[in-house]
Structure 1
Amino acid sequence: MAKAILAVDIGGTSIKFAKWTDNQLTQLGSEKTPDNLAAFYQLLVQKKDQLAAQMQVVGVAISSPGAVNKKSGVIEGTSAVPYLHGFPIEPELKKRLALPVSIENDANCAGLAESLMGAGRDADTMISLVIGSGVGGAVIIDHHIWHGAHLFGGEFGYMVMDPEVGATLSNLASPVNQARLFSQEIGRDVSGKEMFELAEKGDSLAQKYVDRIVTALAQAAYNLQNSLDVDKIVLGGAVSANPHLLPLIDAKIDMLQRKVDAPGLHPSVVVGKYRNQANLMGAVLDFCQSRSLAINEIK
């Protein structure tokens, strides 16, 4: 019987499922995120049993919100799924699923996917910036996640960008947040994608909000490059699919370098490969890496 890893990506509104087998990730659909822990356990056991009826499931790889403590098996911090936090959930899942289980933070999973198999696979050191409703990220050194002393490695969204108004990178660089402010100003709801489209058509107000996003990302990339001196900075999240974003960021970095006395290094900013599959792919890679397995062994 063919072997497979069940990959799970936990989000605030839905949980995605996929299987990894024979060097391929195959989506298995998604389910609404349960509102309690018992239902969450039941859903994961159900999905594992369904896959086990067809293949030999050798483990469950989970991408999760929150600060995952790999030593204790506890998901620390807070998230939109509060029942996941504050107790040894990894051992509990191992017992209920009767399989090896790995759990890693979702942004770290995305970064690991790009480092090992995506846009950063030729980079020994890499930063991942995942842009969505906020800004998450990861620091990858020698193709391994650097968690930091307090599990805050890669939490770039907390960077203070404008101390006078208390604005963080998550505030300023999130298309979701900036589209909300833009919508309030024009009196109708507009998505981040629509706001970018309006800006490209010459809408001056939309351009102001897009420039705020681009400026924040350019400043963050420039400062991170000149703090950590990495090989690449990889952008993820839905906005990274916009073909105009990268040239705008590069141009803004050029402008920043012209304004400062010591221009520093221009970061190599690239767009990620995996986008909406990055968390699932990274969860599988984390599972294999934590067990010293070659990913092509699962077949």
Structure 2
Amino acid sequence: MQHTPVLLALDIGGSAVKYGIWQNEALSHQSSFPTPLTRKQFYTAIQQLCEEFAALAIGGIAVSCPGEPDETTGIVHGMSYVPFLHVGEFQQEFAAQLGLPVTLQNDADSAALAEMTLGVGRHYQNALFTIIGSGVGLAVVKEGKILKDSAEKIDTFEKFVADKIKVMKNSKVSPVQLGRTVALKNFKWPRTLDGKDVFELAKQGNTVALQEIERMYEALAEIMIVLNEAYSPEIIGLGGGISTNPELLPKLNEQIRQQLSTQNKFSLFKPLYKKEAATQMPKIEICHFKKDANLIGAVLHFQEVYHLNKKQNQEQE
């Protein structure tokens, strides 16, 4: 990796902003805080972080976020659980507020970059990365290239179908939404439980938690099967906070095998893929960096941009 200054890496999610300091080719000082409701609150929180780490002389901010960041305009297109990102120009305004260079990259693309460079995707050319947080993020890698442009991503009917299915299952798969659902069904305030709490309740025998976790595995298995049919990737990397659960992959694979062994519920989609062969078992691997993949990918993206800008300046001299 290219040498860069000390960086503040941010992973902006729907419920929390995770952060870490990138120094000496490693993350440290990792923590998180609840995602602010407004830009002003967000800028204030990051300014406080920069002041807290002032002795480290932070030289830039590497951001992973939902939506579709366009670094030529500074606008984060699309919609997400973080509305303040999508109202007008963001990147340069953020950089001006902090007085530091800022890079932006989609969260799933960040995870894909980290995993394709240093993680489970190193030995593959065609891969998918499904990152589960407040929603479900999807990154597509074709011939070793992460397809970042919207036109590249949705220029096939397969992608359209896969995305629609993914969106329909978001509320069942997301640990954040899972926590809210279980909280409500247990007559609690929606924000009183998170994904970890739900799994802990399930271990204690809570019926609602057990039912919702079963639905989560069913929905996630459907997503994996349909994405595998649509793209035929060599590997599907699974990341996000939920990927730290050691039970995730064994139970997910078990659910996939169950669905594939029963009467094929995906026959409705078969004609769309125009495939004669039987549905294949997806090859799924947990992301090497798990919940840190987004932060590390954001740093790698900053390094790419930083190195490119440095190279262009040297050529102009």
TM-score normalised to structure 2 length: 0.73
Segments of structure 1 that go 5 or more residues without pairing to the other structure are 162-166, 294-299
Shift of 1:75: 1.1
Residues 170-219 of structure 1: CA distance to partner in whole angstroms, max 9, x if unpaired? 02323443454455555568654454456567777654433321122112
What is the letter of the counterpart of residue 234 of structure 1?
G
Kindly, what percent of the aligned residue pairs are identical? 32
In 2, Cα distance between the equivalents of 1:271 and 1:155? 25
1:135 has 2:140 as partner: no
Cα 1:39–1:156 change in 2 (3 A) is: farther
What is the letter of the counterpart of residue 160 of structure 1?
I
Aligned partner of 2:86 in structure 1 is: 85
Residues 247-279 of structure 1: CA distance to partner in whole angstroms, max 9, x if unpaired? 222222223333449423221111122233222
Q: How many residues matched? A: 286
Is the 2:15–2:176 contact (alpha carbons within 8 Å) kept by the matching residues of 1? no
Residues 67-94 of structure 1: CA distance to partner in whole angstroms, max 9, x if unpaired? 2123321012334443332322223334
Aligned partner of 2:20 in structure 1 is: 18
1:284 has 2:284 as partner: no
Aligned partner of 2:271 in structure 1 is: none
In 2, Cα distance between the equivalents of 1:198 and 1:53? 42
Shift of 1:45: 4.6
Is the 1:129–1:136 contact (alpha carbons within 8 Å) kept by the matching residues of 2? yes
Is the 1:135–1:157 contact (alpha carbons within 8 Å) kept by the matching residues of 2? no
**1:235 corresponds to which of 224, 238, 263:** 238
Deviates more, 1:16-25 or 1:250-259: 250-259
Is the 1:135–1:174 contact (alpha carbons within 8 Å) kept by the matching residues of 2? yes
Shift of 1:234: 1.4
Match runs of 1:10-159 below 5 Å: 10-12=12-14, 14-27=16-29, 29-31=31-33, 33-45=35-47, 47-48=49-50, 51=53, 53-55=55-57, 57-149=58-150, 158-159=163-164
Higher fraction of strand: 1
Residues 75-116 of structure 1: CA distance to partner in whole angstroms, max 9, x if unpaired? 123344433323222233344444432111223222322222
In 2, Cα distance between the equivalents of 1:171 and 1:257? 23
**2:219 corresponds to which of 196, 216, 219:** 216
Deviates more, 1:40-49 or 1:60-69: 40-49
Shift of 1:231: 1.8
Residues 222-265 of structure 1: CA distance to partner in whole angstroms, max 9, x if unpaired? 21112112121111223222222212222222233334494232
Segments of structure 2 that go 5 or more residues without pairing to the other structure are 268-276, 309-317
**2:254 corresponds to which of 231, 251, 254:** 251
**2:288 corresponds to which of 266, 273, 276:** 273
What is the letter of the counterpart of residue 257 of structure 2?
D
What is the letter of the counterpart of residue 218 of structure 1?
A
Cα RMSD (Å) of the superposition?
Answer: 3.6
**1:160 corresponds to which of 140, 165, 177:** 165
> Secondary structure, in 3 states, of the residue corresponding to 1:128?
strand
What is the letter of the counterpart of residue 4 of structure 1?
V
Is the 2:81–2:134 contact (alpha carbons within 8 Å) kept by the matching residues of 1? no
In 2, Cα distance between the equivalents of 1:253 and 1:140? 23
Match runs of 1:173-184 below 5 Å: 173-184=173-184
In 2, Cα distance between the equivalents of 1:90 and 1:59? 12
Shift of 1:156: 9.3
TM-score normalised to structure 1 length: 0.77
